Structure formats: structure tokens, C-alpha cells
Structure 1
């Protein structure tokens, strides 16, 4: 919890604060109406299958009622807030985009996660705003977590905590059977552990055993911590 708070405090200094306080507008000069379509999330990466994605795509399609329009977008993020009273912070700002009519061919997406800023493990709300590329303070349209449940309370974590660990193989070696009766008094258990995702995870092994007639396993030993590369 302290780490999450610290990271969010750092984010508050490096990201520009902005509020969700405008609605869809019509450009007074061109009379063009700007609308947002196709907002959806996909491309989730959740290697450890804990329900928190270390990467996803925020898809969007901005349309104009006639002709073309130069715009740019900002994507805001906050810790999920059912009361809708907390502030969004700027997560991403695009370069100018030319949109034309209602075609879906100009649909785009923003990567949430690498190569953009990674977020600490939590649920997040998103805010998507379209700005006029010529009049850069003019907001043309927006959609927020309050308006669309698909971008509300999205579970996200960073890649360092999204790790899938598997035991590729395990075998006994160096058995000692002094009397040759098939029962060993000593053996070495070798384990090949692999990981997918963040490189360099530190883990340890716990070894349990039980008699074949018993129902429950009992802990018999722990390994020293080691790093998977």
C-alpha cells in the first residue's frame, strides 16, 4: 500500500492535472460535430492469471460529421472511484491526428503499459478527451468511466509483478542406497524452474512429502532464495 501511494505521488508530479468537465461540442467555425466511437479494451497480457493485466490496448475511433479535422487526444487515469469525485491525471497525449468522416479506418489505440508508463497494482478508471489540434485548449468530445463501464475499475499491474512461474522438470539424483534394497537414505532433488514475463524474479522452493497411505502433505524443507534468469 505504501509503495502504491508513493508511485501515485510521483505520478502526480510528472503528469499534468486535468478535469473531466466538458461534453461533446460542435466546432463554431466549421460546424463539425466530433463523436467518439469504438472505445474498448483488448490485447490484455496477464501472465500470472491473477486478473491484473500488465498490458492492454485502449482502442478508440474519433469521427467527424463532415470533411476532415485535425485533433489530438489525451488519456487520463485515476484509481477507481465509484463516487466519481477524484481527479484524473494525464497518462498519454498523442501527436496530431487527422480524422475523416465516419470511417473506421482511422481507428487507433493507446498502449497502457510498456512502452508507456507502467501502473502499480490497482483498479483504474479512464478518461478519454479529444482536443482541437489548432485551438489546443478546445475540447471537442470526451468519454469517462462514469459514462462507460468498459473503462471503469480496470485491474492493472506492472510487468515486474506479472510473472508466470512454471516447473519445467524435476528429478532425483545422487541417490545413496548402501544396502542395495532399493530404499535410498539420501538423494538430491533437482528442479528446473522457468519464468515468463519480468526477467530476474527471486523465488524459493518449498518441499512437501507424505506417506503413500496418508492424505495430507507435510512441509519438510525450504530452499534458499534464488533468481530465475
Structure 2
């Protein structure tokens, strides 16, 4: 899987995408993550990628041409089996099912990270991009949502997760405990549920489905 991220702040991804599971996945060639900065596709000395909105209003809008050129450049490097995602607070909310389906369906994901007051609407129309949101809240830019989507999709690519992590994926979310069996805190004792130390795997599975 190749992730191509269009962003004016590529340095903001370094720490997260080059750590832990995603770092190992890249080293093993299971995923590839590349960045294209729209500022590299403008010619003025200030590297201008935004302008005032038509019709007035606060803030600035990201210009269409630099983003379109960045996407065109990355499309020359990848196969046609790709999906273009425009990260936006007004988009369809991202889900686990979408992550799983896209991991199977596409070999290339292009993520466009907006900033300021948004991106010129013509980008969406020209690229036939799908607007995606990661939650019912507004962020200052599309960089964090891009990281969320890369992480969520990567987990569904064969070989990215180890055995223990794969087991977690199959089981879903449940309460977890580790040693010691009893923790003393401010005069009270907090014990691990007895079923988890019973050795009865059937009962443990039933408990995990419940909690």
C-alpha cells in the first residue's frame, strides 16, 4: 500500500509515522508513505498556496492549482488503482469498516490535508475526491486526520500486525489488566477480575465479550 499525503506541513508527520508499528511496516516494505508539498508547485518567491475567498469572509482558502499539480505528480508514480481523499470536517465520517474495505480494494491512497478556511471546492470536483472526516469536531488542519487514516488502514494490511496484535484485532475492544493482581491505592484494594486468573479460557472469552 502506498500512501501519498498532500500537505504544507510534512514535518508534522515525522514522529508518529516513524515510530513503532508503522515504522516497522515501512522498513519491511509493507507500506510506503510519501509527501508532496503544494508549495513546491508554485513559482512566486513567497510560495503562496492560499488566497482570499470569493464573496468575502474571514481567513484564507487553499488554492486549487498547487494541490492539483501535487496530485498529478503523485499519480504519475503510482498505479491507477487509487483513491483520493479530501480531509474535511464536513465529510463522511471515517469508520473501521471503511479502513478494512479500502485496505483490500486499493493499492494507493492519496490524502489531501487542508488548512486555513478550507480548500477551493474545484479540487474535489476535478479529482472526484471523497470528503472524509474523522469525527464530529473541527481541527486546525488535515494532518492529524491523515495520520489516523494511515494508521487505521495499515492495520488491515497483511503482515503489519504481529500475532498478539492480530489477536487484539479479532477480539475487538475489551477491558485489560496486567500484574500485579492487586493494587493498593489510598487505602483501597483494586483486584484483577477472578475470571482472568482462573485459567478457564471459555469463561475468559465470554467475559471479554461482555466487558
Give the TM-score taking structure 2 as reference length. Answer: 0.29
Give the TM-score taking structure 1 as reference length. Answer: 0.27
Structure whose CA Rg is larger: 1
By percentage of residues, which structure has more helix?
Answer: 2
By percentage of residues, which structure has more strand?
Answer: 1
Taking CA–CA contacts closer than 8 Å with sequence separation of 6 or more, which of the two structures ends up with the larger relative contact order? 2
